[in-house]
Chain A
């Protein structure tokens, strides 16, 4: 039985861990913080902008990869991406993830732009911005990260990606999730809406402001552990409802995170939270183990393969010091560094080169020296740490994460099979 250490519990780390454990590997998942899913918007992007708006992401991938040499999609073709997203849909189930990765949906954001994405929570699909749609955007006075007038009025003046316009109006209502609290987080509402009693009162309050034929847009706080909460609210209101993602912490991302973490544990993954890797040992060109610093002393995790899924600059996996030297936090890996200046002053201009820095791999996701040979024979990488993408601008982060995680897991399993076969032969 092959042993794998996965470092990082964002989308890439969770998906790879589950896939490895389901295939019989013994997996330890080491995570320092809460994982990137809760920072994001809770949708699964494949490719939203190239840089013009993408309607059919899978069809666009080959051309996009060709136009962007060194982009992760150069190693992860459309067939792999499609297969990987189907896998993710199976893992999360139809209650948490739906959609067709061949076609982008265009959904409202919390500032009222129309954002392309591929797979979404079913609680978001009714927000599809199509010609003739009629929305009422409902804000909750005690949530400061959602202003319905901003969403509705920007949507109203937007020429929709598929042509035409929609109409949106806005209403602010006040239903406290906690008595005497004026500054409530989305998470507070999400937890409150897991309670059927509060859900009924909430739905009554919303129903009172909904007009005939309107679809209701609400901040993405409609239940945390109860994945059917949004559907019940829609039923109680008597109108279609959709959730609009807020800045972090992301409730839809938390739902995915909790579901995937539970699935990983059920598959036998040993999840070790709060664990920052502080060192590693290697010999003969392979990583032997990684260390965690704990109160009792260092703990050593030995494995046959290691998957680095620690994210990018946002998680601290990558950093730039005050001399602009770039570092990878766990293995001090050689990084692909963009040429020239790392940062420029035009906020609305080209992507900042700094954020395309990262780890380079071969097409089995084995980490290699930029343009050269593998750094270690058993160290793989997946997700946000990969060089070459500007995921936030492209809207490509989850597609890259899931496809690279699946590819890395499969490569690790293949290498294990080969080793076993060779072992048996000799």
Chain B
């Protein structure tokens, strides 16, 4: 057993938790963040890639719209290296009522979301693949953001301020001393060791999993409803700007260019279990139809991967429990001292990635208020490590890097221009990580071939490192192939079938990977 102590324990390593631990640390508290898996492994890593301008919510949720507009500018600055300033459009297609654009424009004016009405001709000039039948368009300041990069930036900032980040630490209990929280008990899933952290304050940022955490502290019935949405990555950018349908928020109404791909999404289905989100063929078809409306020919473009994320929506008495689309996208803070008579525990849920910093500010303000210890928030002005130059991401960054090191280093993943050096450095930082953990930082296996060529290379290079033996290396490869397949088979049609046939020929045909010596299960810790 290991014992630790900190002023504050943050539970959950998604965007909210990492934003919170950064804020807490910057205000001078000692802090430890725990997550049952890797950072941004849950909803933050399974989202759309959209840095909202606010335009999506100007009619349906004006308060969120204003928050998004303000935070968009802040995040583009403090997390510069994670954000691409793509710009975006709201367009009325032939099935949308152009007159609704007047409501939208009024909403945008009222909520202070910057916009400009632009001519259809100009939009089509900028985005020639867009549906030529659009009747009306507004330009907004949408961007795209790499959720993993953003989270790692904030986490590294928190570490600079002394915070500890403990991934693969699963919370198993929260103990109380009278009416106060006293300890968070975790299991280190990589070693099996129990870790007890003494603390005065727990900030529950476990989002869709937050109800379970609150219950461990004896606070029952915190209802965070997982609103599941699917997203599909297409193998290249069909547009270079974010494209939104000019309608009341609906399914499949946004196309976001992120890195080398573009992502269509999303749907909204109430899920029972955020760990078991299914990607239904019917929902895939729905996304294809929506894509076709934005970019004619979408169905013939190549889908390479699909995933589902669980929005953490706090149950709200104003809407029916089954209607997650119209639950508040705003954030909720539950103060358990009021609700359950337990001091030192706040649960935060709801909100969205664009407002992660603001959510953190509010929850830490609430904590300071409960502690009667006001300290100012400084997260909006200071850039995270890696973003000090203020230089935003552009798609050619990696190409530029490879042009500098191409005589010295090999490229392990041609699709995403990931070098061997990048992989070995990330592995040295995270020697117990799975290839998926490394993928989230490196984009290993995320391009068109979906690991067809790089998986074996990654395995060989990992085995060359001193930490990884042959059983583990082989298990890592098996696990990675299995996990890639989870996102491939639901969208397996068109050119990705051809790619998969080649990948199968390589792995089963040439390498006979299914007859490697055991262990044959993919439990890699």
Contact check, B509 vs A392: say whether CB atoms are below 8 A apart. Answer: yes
- Shortest CB distance B307–A (Å): 13
Please indicate the chain B residues that have their CB under 8 angstroms from the CB of A320 in the complex.
Answer: 492-494, 497
Please indicate the chain B residues that have their CB under 8 angstroms from the CB of A142 in the complex.
Answer: 410
Q: Is B517 an interface residue (CB 8 A)?
A: yes
CA of A350 to CA of B205, assembled, Å: 40
Contacts A111-B477, A320-B497; A158 near B517 (Cβ below 8 A): yes
Please indicate the chain A residues that have their CB under 8 angstroms from the CB of B486 in the complex.
Answer: 345
Q: Is A87 an interface residue (CB 8 A)?
A: no
The number of chain A residues touching the other chain, given as a range, is 35 or more
- Shortest CB distance A423–B (Å): 43
Q: Is A298 an interface residue (CB 8 A)?
A: no
Contact check, A154 vs B470: say whether CB atoms are below 8 A apart. Answer: yes
Please indicate the chain B residues that have their CB under 8 angstroms from the CB of A8 in the complex.
Answer: none
Binds A, one of B63-71, B91-99, B357-365, B452-460: B452-460
The 8 A CB mask of A56-94 against B (1 = contact, 0 = none) is: 000000000000000000000000000000000000000
CA of A183 to CA of B288, assembled, Å: 39
CA of A316 to CA of B496, assembled, Å: 11
Contact check, A319 vs B461: say whether CB atoms are below 8 A apart. Answer: no
Closest residue on chain A to residue B298 by CB atoms? A322
Select which of B453, B504, B510 is within 8 A of A355 by beta carbon: B504
CA of A319 to CA of B494, assembled, Å: 6
Q: Which of B485, B492, B512, B514 has the most CB of A within 10 A?
A: B512
Contact check, B505 vs A392: say whether CB atoms are below 8 A apart. Answer: yes
Q: Is B140 an interface residue (CB 8 A)?
A: no
Contact check, A111 vs B509: say whether CB atoms are below 8 A apart. Answer: no
CA of A180 to CA of B459, assembled, Å: 25
Q: Is B502 an interface residue (CB 8 A)?
A: yes
Contact check, B299 vs A153: say whether CB atoms are below 8 A apart. Answer: no
- Shortest CB distance A150–B (Å): 5
Q: Is A280 an interface residue (CB 8 A)?
A: no
Chain A 231-266 residues near chain B, CB threshold 8 A: 245-248, 250
Select which of B504, B506, B517 is within 8 A of A248 by beta carbon: B506
Contact check, A182 vs B494: say whether CB atoms are below 8 A apart. Answer: no
Q: Is B498 an interface residue (CB 8 A)?
A: yes
- Shortest CB distance A168–B (Å): 11
Select which of B412, B477, B497, B506 is within 8 A of A319 by beta carbon: B497
Please indicate the chain A residues that have their CB under 8 angstroms from the CB of B285 in the complex.
Answer: 322-323
Contacts A319-B494, A322-B493; A397 near B501 (Cβ below 8 A): no
Please indicate the chain A residues that have their CB under 8 angstroms from the CB of B490 in the complex.
Answer: 345
- Shortest CB distance A346–B (Å): 8
- Shortest CB distance A248–B (Å): 7
Please indicate the chain B residues that have their CB under 8 angstroms from the CB of A156 in the complex.
Answer: 470
Contact check, B470 vs A109: say whether CB atoms are below 8 A apart. Answer: no
Total number of residue pairs linking A and B with CB closer than 8 Å: 160
Contacts A111-B459, A145-B456, A180-B407; A354 near B497 (Cβ below 8 A): yes
Closest residue on chain B to residue A151 by CB atoms? B460
Contacts A154-B470, A319-B494, A344-B489; A147 near B459 (Cβ below 8 A): yes
Q: Is A40 an interface residue (CB 8 A)?
A: yes
Contact check, A113 vs B513: say whether CB atoms are below 8 A apart. Answer: yes
Contacts A41-B509, A347-B481; A355 near B501 (Cβ below 8 A): yes
Q: Is B180 an interface residue (CB 8 A)?
A: no
CA of A309 to CA of B35, assembled, Å: 54
Select which of B420, B492, B511 is within 8 A of A111 by beta carbon: B511
Chain B 1-45 residues near chain A, CB threshold 8 A: none
Contact check, A144 vs B410: say whether CB atoms are below 8 A apart. Answer: yes
Q: Is A313 an interface residue (CB 8 A)?
A: yes
Select which of A112, A322, A391 is within 8 A of B516 by beta carbon: A112
Closest residue on chain A to residue B473 by CB atoms? A150
Q: Is B318 an interface residue (CB 8 A)?
A: no
Contact check, A321 vs B513: say whether CB atoms are below 8 A apart. Answer: no
Contact check, A157 vs B457: say whether CB atoms are below 8 A apart. Answer: no
CA of A342 to CA of B492, assembled, Å: 9
Q: Is B267 an interface residue (CB 8 A)?
A: no
Please indicate the chain B residues that have their CB under 8 angstroms from the CB of A245 in the complex.
Answer: 510
> Which 10 residue pairs of A and B lie closest in terms of their CB atoms, listed nearest first?
A147-B460, A392-B509, A314-B501, A153-B470, A347-B485, A313-B501, A392-B508, A115-B512, A41-B510, A322-B299
Known: A41-B509, A159-B517, A182-B409. 11 other contacts (CB 8 A): A111-B477, A112-B516, A147-B461, A183-B409, A250-B510, A321-B299, A342-B492, A345-B486, A348-B482, A352-B504, A392-B508
A-B contact pairs, 8 of them (CB 8 A): A39-B502, A39-B505, A110-B456, A144-B412, A149-B460, A150-B473, A247-B456, A247-B506
